[in-house]
Every structure is written in structure tokens, then in C-alpha cells.
Structure 1
Amino acid sequence: MFFLETAISIFIGAFLLTYLTIPKIIKIVEYKRLMDNPNQRSSHSSRTPTLGGIAFFYTLIFALFFIRGRDVFDEAMYIIPGLTILFIVGLKDDLVVISPGAKLLSQVFAIAFILTNPSFTIHSLNGFLNISEIPYYLYLIIGGFMMLTIINSYNLIDGIDGLASVVGIVIMVIYTTIFYLTEEYFFALLSITLNASLMAFLGFNLSSDKKIFMGDTGSLIVGFIISILTIKFLALRPDSYTELPFLLENAPLIAISILIVPLFDTARVFAIRIANNKAPFSPDRNHTHHVLIDYWGLTHKQASFIIGCFNLLFVMLFIVLGSKARNLGMVIMLVSVVVALGYIFFKYNYSFATLKQKIMLRRKVDKIKGKVEEVNGKKKKKNLSDQAQNKEEVE
């Protein structure tokens, strides 16, 4: 009961703090003219305020102050330096743009604070693919690579209105449930805090008159928290899994299913870019959400909702399978789904030149249709006018 009261208080406080301060951020950004200018790759057509992630940063800092007593290994004091590093780097990147190398180096420093805390040490994969004990140096390599992948994968899906928020909300709901069932209340409250901020932000991100983007400031912070929750999930004690509805050895696959949207999109985009002899981080409109909008004609809200529902259903499917199936069968299932999705999205030609031509062609077709409808409308109106005039003459 005490946890429930704390959780409700944290959720309401985080939601209100984010919701009430984002309008202030919008006013300052507009006054200082720090808006995001659209370019040929942008999904928006007008200058839009960014830096919404600032609200995430201080909301998390406030929340960590109030929930710090629930962290067994003083995790809050290790999270704050990493959050601060990524906040500064994201803010700078939103304002003046920094190189991918500098951004990657800052992420390594932020991750180092987390990996040195004993609470996050992964001692074993508990039989996943017959892997049990893990040496400490191997944990540092695997954990570091995993956190870097999650942070950058989440950063890359922030390309249309609502998507990053919706996917983040789905992930936070799942991790809140997992950490509540395993009695890791500090991490459950951390998930609730970020979930409340994302929900408050989503309304502004989808708004037509008070729109704001989270920017790299927000996506780096959210990706960092997601990576922390993921590595903590994999570091849970074996006895904690007795309350979870899936087998202990399937935990790595459950973690992949939770992060399927950013991981699949990043792998797919990198494969396309490398196949086209481009750098993996080179900008384009080859992301899954861009495909849904540019090729399938969906709106931002529709694409975000569909991807979010897919993420949730995919996790639920793997939790059900993970309660009975051994990890080899789950691996086969995961590979099959990824191959099927890869085929669906790879069968199109996603080179940027071709995409641009198709978009321009569609606009020309829509323009021609509009003119034809306008001409037909004028003809119809003229016919009605002539009929009325003839009627008057007859009378």
C-alpha cells in the first residue's frame, strides 16, 4: 500500500511538473528563435520549438531526490552524473550540432558510471544458449555495447510526431510491471517517473498549436534510462524471476522483444545504408516510420499508434511463449519474425533519390486531381446556373 501511494504521488508530480513547464520552454525557445528548421528529410513543414527534453532532465533529478532511499546500492548517485553528461551533450547537439564521435564518447563516459555500480553487474545468463557464468570483463564489454546500442537506437526512432513518446510509454509500462513484481521498487518508481513525463510531453508533441520536439536532449536521456532499466532487468537475481510469468533463461529474449522497435529499425536502416555504400549514421528517410508515412500514406499519429501497438503485442506474445518454450525455440521465433518484417520493408526501393521522386510524383498527381476536381466543380456549378436561368426564362 505504501508503494502504491508513493507511485501515485510520483506519477502526478512528474506529470504536472512536465506539463506545466513545457509551455514555458516553448515560449523561451520561440523568443530566442531556437526552433528546429525543416529540411528535405524533415517530416514537418514549419519551424518548430525543440528542447522538450529539458523537462525530462529536471523531472528525473527531482524524482531521484525523493526515491533515492529505496536504492539498495545507491544507484541514484550513479545515474545523476550520466544523466547530466547526456543532458549537456544533447542540449549542445540541438543548438549547434556536434560530431557523432563526440556524442559517442560522451555516451561511453555516462555509461561508465552505471557499469561500475554492483547493482547492474550481470553475473550469469542463467542458461540462455547454454551460457551461465560471465567474467566481469566480458560483462563490461557486453553491458557497454548493449547500452550504447539502446541509447542510439532510441535516438534514431525520434523522427515523427509521437513515435518516440509512444514507444517509450510502452517500454516504461512493461518495466514498471517487471520491477514491481520483482520488488525492485526504486526502478519501478524510476519507470513511473519517466512514463509520466512522456505522457505529459506527448500531448504537446501531437498538438497543432503548441507543438514541441524532445530533440536529442530528450531522446538521449530517455534512451539512457531505458538502457539502465534493461541492464538491471538482466542483472536481477535468479530468485526474483519466480514472480515473473516467463522462464529465467528467456530473459535476454524478453529484453529484445521489449526493445524490438528501436533495435529492428536501427539494424534495418544500417543495413540499407551500408548496402548503398553510405555511413551507418548518414541521414536519410529510410526509417520504418518514414516508410509508413511516405509509401503507405499514414499520418504521424496513425504510424506512431500502429508501431506502439505492435511493440506491445510483440512483448505480450514473447512473454506467453517465454512461459513455456525453451530459448532455442524462442530464438527461432524471433529470427522468423525479424526475417518476415525485413522482407516486408526491404521489398521496396528505399534509396533517397527514388523516394524523393515518388513523393514529388505523388504531389503532382494530387495537384492534377485537385485541378480536375476544381474544373468539374466549376462546370457543375455553371450547369446548375444555366438550368436555373432557363427555368426563370420559361416562367
Structure 2
Amino acid sequence: MTYIALLFLFIGIELIYFKIADHYNIIDKPNSRSSHTSITLRGGGIIFPIAIVTAFFLGYVSWAVVLAVVLVAVISFVDDITPLSQLPRFASHAIAIGLVFYDLSLFTQVIWILPIVFILLIGWVNAFNFMDGINGITVLYAFVAIASFSFLSINQESLPLLITMGLSCCAFGVFNVRKKAKTFAGDVGSISMALFLGYFMIKTILISGQIGYLLFLSVYGIDAVITIFARIKKKENILEPHRSHLYQYLANELGYSHIVVSLLYSVIQLLINAILIYSENIGKLTLPVVVSFLLFQIMVYVWIRGKVLRKVNLQNV
């Protein structure tokens, strides 16, 4: 199957899903915490787990990774329709991460590595899900990550898998990257994509031995972590929906276009990734450089967030 045919297949599947979602009223209704103002079909991100199942039948990915992504996708899709308690969601994430560990042979590593990687993956999956709030941000950011992984020579054997997942982003983006989105990813999309990106991040680090590639996802990571700390400082429940991310202040309080903000996040991450790849190619991506670069990103983010919050507060006076 050619990649063009695969793209049109994914678009066709999305159109079929829209009919089903419309019939069964699988929708997002705007509320005080939302960044959208009109009723929108939920769960269009179902194309992401469908894409990885397709990749499996084409021989691009192992059964363990497919089972992990499909497991979190199914539980998340049920949660999109009928909210579930924390237990089944956490259990599905834990089992899925165990499958990822199995695929990457992490169970053969020293035991103390496992809880660290487990916590990082759990945190990443939830951070990625929390960041899914405005049109285009999830799919554009995911596409940048996939493109960055694809550019690394060490990932050439996985290129068909990465292209397949990238095509699913393109298909979803047709209906999401617009002023008025036709559909949102839903938990089924954001969590399954987060798990896939987390899996591929660990795989890339293991193959390359380069911890600096963690910064391929640093824009989301920094925004998520600092927002969590800010909410804890305000004594807010960090598990409840909110509008406290920097991108939400930009899109909601300051009124910037969703697409402009989403492109801003994605382009900044793309530039960071290009710097990382170049630094590695010239042999300069050492641990001190990685740590310094991360601290620099954090300082810039805090500075920008402070300026934006001051502007928001002035508007509310």
C-alpha cells in the first residue's frame, strides 16, 4: 500500500467515524473550563490507534506496542463517552507501560531504572493529555516529534512506522487544524499518541545512548510541569480541568488565534529539535550542554509566562 493510499484511507476512516460519533452524540460541549465555544465531535484521535494497528498488519511494529496503545485507547474512548474512575485508567496505563518495557527489554536492565522510567512515562502521558486544549496543538506537536524522530539515522528501520503515524496526524489535522475544528482528539487520541511518543522516545534514547533527546518533548514538558507547580501553589486540585497553561492564557485571555498559538508551540519545539540534532551531529550534545539548554528553556518560559500573566491581570483590573 502506498503512503498516499494510506493517507486517503485514514481520511476515509475519520469521515466514517464522524457519522458514528454524530449518530451516538459523542460530542464535546463547551463549559467554563473549555477553550472552544461550540459543540464539536469528540474522539477524532481514534485514528491514531487505528494507524498503529494498520502499521502492525503491514509489519512495521511489534504486537506488544500495538497492544499497549490499543489498551489505553479503548479505556480512554470509554472514558470519553462515560467518565471512568481513576482505577481503570491508571491500571490500563500501568499495563501498557509494562508492555512497552517488555518490547524494549527494560526488564533486563538494572531494577532501579524501572520505577524511574515508569514515573516519567506516566507523567508524560498525563501531561500530553492535559495539553490537549486548543485546535491543532496536539496534532501539530505530535507531528513535529514524529518528524524529528524520523530525521535521526538511528531510526531508519522504523521509518515506515513513523511515516504511518505521521500520516494519521495529517488525516486528523485536516479536520482539527482550523479556526472551527470539526473534531477534537479526545482522550482516545491524546493518550494513545502520548504513549506512542513516550515509547519511541525511550527507544531512541536506548539505541543512541543520548539522553539529550528527551528535550525533543521539552516545550510540552516544561509547560505542564510549571503549570502543575503553579496550581499546587494556589492549592488547586491538579487533576481537575483548568485553563492555567500558558497556551490557554494566550488563546483564551489574550485572544490569540488557536492555530497561531499551536503553530508557535510546534515551531519552537521544531527549532529546539533541530538544534539538538545539529549539536549531536557535531559531537557537542554532552550532559552539561543538555542541562544548560534545559535550564535556559525553563528561564525563558518562566519569563514569558510572567509577562503574559501580568498582561492578563491588567486586563482583568
Whether these two folds match at TM > 0.5 is yes
Quote the residue 2:232 is aligned against.
274
Q: 1:207 to 1:339 in 2, by over 3 A?
A: closer
Quote the residue 1:254 is aligned against.
213
Q: 1:208 to 1:312 in 2, by over 3 A?
A: closer
Structure 2 unaligned blocks of 5 or more? none
Task: Provide the rounded CA distance (Å) in 1 between the counterparts of 2:285 and 2:62.
Answer: 36
Contact 2:77 2:187 in 1 (8 A): yes
Quote the residue 2:288 is aligned against.
328
Q: 1:120 to 1:297 in 2, by over 3 A?
A: farther
Q: 1:183 to 1:166 in 2, by over 3 A?
A: closer
Selected match of 1:105 from 66, 77, 91: 91
Which of structure 1's runs of 4+ aligned residues deviate more than 6 A?
none
Quote the residue 1:244 is aligned against.
none
Task: Provide the rounded CA distance (Å) in 2 between the counterparts of 1:262 and 1:286.
Answer: 14
Q: How far apart are residue 209 of structure 1 and its match?
A: 7.0
Aligned partner letter, 2:88: A
Contact 1:120 1:231 in 2 (8 A): no
Q: How far apart are residue 138 of structure 1 and its match?
A: 1.8
- TM-score normalised per structure 2: 0.90
Quote the residue 1:81 is aligned against.
67
Q: 1:277 to 1:191 in 2, by over 3 A?
A: same
Structure 1 position 305 matched with structure 2 position 263: yes
Aligned partner letter, 2:212: L
Contact 2:250 2:308 in 1 (8 A): no
Q: 1:41 to 1:140 in 2, by over 3 A?
A: same
Q: How far apart are residue 167 of structure 1 and its match?
A: 0.2
Q: How far apart are residue 347 of structure 1 and its match?
A: 4.8
Q: 1:108 to 1:156 in 2, by over 3 A?
A: same
Structure 1 position 346 matched with structure 2 position 299: no
Contact 1:156 1:262 in 2 (8 A): no
Q: 1:294 to 1:337 in 2, by over 3 A?
A: same
> How many residue pairs were aligned?
314
Give the CA RMSD over aligned residues. 2.4
Task: Provide the rounded CA distance (Å) in 1 between the counterparts of 2:225 and 2:186.
Answer: 22
Identity of aligned residues (%): 22
Task: Provide the rounded CA distance (Å) in 1 between the counterparts of 2:144 and 2:162.
Answer: 11
Aligned partner letter, 2:23: Y
Task: Provide the rounded CA distance (Å) in 1 between the counterparts of 2:246 and 2:180.
Answer: 27
- TM-score normalised per structure 1: 0.74
Which structure carries more relative contact order (alpha carbon 8 Å, separation 6+)? 2
Q: 1:22 to 1:208 in 2, by over 3 A?
A: farther
Structure 1 unaligned blocks of 5 or more? 1-5, 69-74, 124-134, 242-247, 362-395
Quote the residue 1:211 is aligned against.
182
